[in-house]
Amino acid sequence: MGKFVVKTAKDGQYYFNLKADNGQTILSSEMYTTKGACTNGIDSVKTNAPNDGRYEKKTSSNGKYFFNLKASNGQVIGSSEMYESTGSRDSGINSVKNNAPNASVVEE
């Protein structure tokens, strides 16, 4: 099972990474000004991750592939790393769908 790792940036803002069992980061959040807002972001990822319609598949300007996970209001709540192929990106989406709903939350 995956886990959400909450961290504090140098400027005091909060963010999280969703990590798979192997420790690889599969989703990263935006910056949040409060820990409560960060926690709400994690809850939103857990809620929206199982829904195929919440994933926006994208191609970067350098030709690599990534995805964004969006909340029901259309706001991006997490972004993936860059992938070399669409198949790898789709595997990343499946990993988020499998790991996020029951992931634990830890602070570093």
Least Cα distance to 11 among 38, 33, 40, 37 occurs for 33
| Backbone phi, psi, residue 28, to 5° | -125, 145
What confidence score (pLDDT) does residue 31 get?
Answer: 96
Q: Map out the domains of the chain as residue ranges.
A: 3-107
Do the strands 3-8 and 104-107 form a parallel or antiparallel pair, or are they unpaired?
A: parallel
Amino acid 24 reads: Q
pLDDT tens-digit readout, 38-72: 999 999 999 999 999 999 999 999 999 999 999 99
pTM of the model: 0.93
CATH architecture of 3-107: Roll (2.30)
C-alpha distances out from residue 23 to 2, 27, 28, Å: 8, 12, 13
Q: Are 18 and 2 within 8 A, CB to CB?
A: yes
**Alpha-carbon gap, residue 10 to 23, rounded angstroms:** 23
31 C-beta neighbours (distance < 10 Å), count: 12
Mean per-residue pLDDT for 80-106? Answer: 96
Q: Looking at the predicted structure, is the pLDDT value of residue 1 above 90?
A: no
Q: Looking at the predicted structure, is the pLDDT value of residue 77 above 90?
A: yes
